[in-house]
Amino acid sequence: MIQQKMRMKIKRDKSFNAKYLVISDLQVPFQFSEAVINFSEAVTNLKKLVKAFKFDLVLNVGDEMDFNTISRFADGKAESFMQTLDDDRTTCQNILYDLKTDVVSRSNHSDRLYKSLQRIPGLMGLPELQYANFMRFDDLGIHYAKQPYAIPGTNFVLCHGDEGVISNIAGQTALNLSKRWGRSAISGHTHRLGYTCASEAFNGRLERVLVGVECGHTADLKKMSYTKGYANWQAGAVIIHIKRGNVSIEMIPFNTDGSFTAMGKAFG
């Protein structure tokens, strides 16, 4: 005789209320920041959003820096000789500070610094070249999450999105990670904006719902020559609302001029 499976109880702190902003891949120096006539751009509008609403946490899914000049794609090209890394870092630090960023996830682009150091192993032990130190995250009050970050008050983890199999269907890459980890996931990396779910049921009763959220990108595709102008990605961000322990997701698609609507208010 098959024993009846016990229903999984989701524990919620019904006194917990919060709202979190999740920023997608900035890819500095390719951030979405080229103003269009009569319009503002996405990074400026995100700064306005942060000022308009006091978020309990501002999370970044990673790829805040592109590190294009030390990429393997730049090897042997003029781009690898460009002395722009310090300027790019300063730009990125200023954006992260203005957005009041609390947490940054590790990512494949931040890993480029480590991979470059592997060519000169003698430098790998220098503490100032460890990524969090290189970016001066401590000075900025930013926690650098080397592992998936458990988002407080939720069953979600923040990750970059390169930890598993990549899908070209928006939201599916994050959902695949959710199924592997048993935790809902919110990620970047794919530059797609999407929300999807998978549920489990037994004997007519819903047992568990896993959610995969991908938060798009905040990059200017015109600046990314390697996309050759044909990247079919979606720009955006995500807000996580927690009310009496219940979690809901607000997807924020960016318009082509960098404007968007969030929490019922238009920006740009």
Q: Which residue has the higher pLDDT, 7 or 205?
A: 205
Looking from the CA of 79 toward its CB, the CA atoms found within 13 Å total: 15
Q: What share of the chain is helix, strand, coil (3-state, %, to 5)?
A: 25, 30, 45
Instruction: Give the pLDDT confidence score for residue 51 in this predicted structure.
Output: 97
d(CA 118, CA 77): 20
- Structure tokens belonging to residue 213: 């959220």
The average confidence (pLDDT) of the chain is 89
In this predicted structure, the answer to whether residue 231 has a pLDDT above a threshold of 50 is yes
In this predicted structure, the answer to whether residue 259 has a pLDDT above a threshold of 90 is yes
High-pLDDT (> 90) share of the chain, %: 68
High-pLDDT (> 70) share of the chain, %: 85
Q: State the distance between the two ends of the chain, measured CA to CA, in whole angstroms.
A: 62
pLDDT tens profile 138-188: 999 999 999 999 999 999 999 999 999 999 999 999 999 999 999 999 999
Looking from the CA of 259 toward its CB, the CA atoms found within 13 Å total: 10
Mean pLDDT of 11-19: 75
Helix H or strand E segment including 129 = none
In this predicted structure, the answer to whether residue 211 has a pLDDT above a threshold of 60 is yes
Annotate 36-85 with DSSP letters as a single string.
PTT---HHHHHHHHHHHS--SEEEE-S--B--GGGSGGGTTSGGGG---H
At 223, the pLDDT band (50, 70, 90 cuts) reads confident
pLDDT tens profile 70-106: 776 666 666 666 788 899 999 999 999 999 999 999 9
Instruction: Give the pLDDT confidence score for residue 67 in this predicted structure.
Output: 85
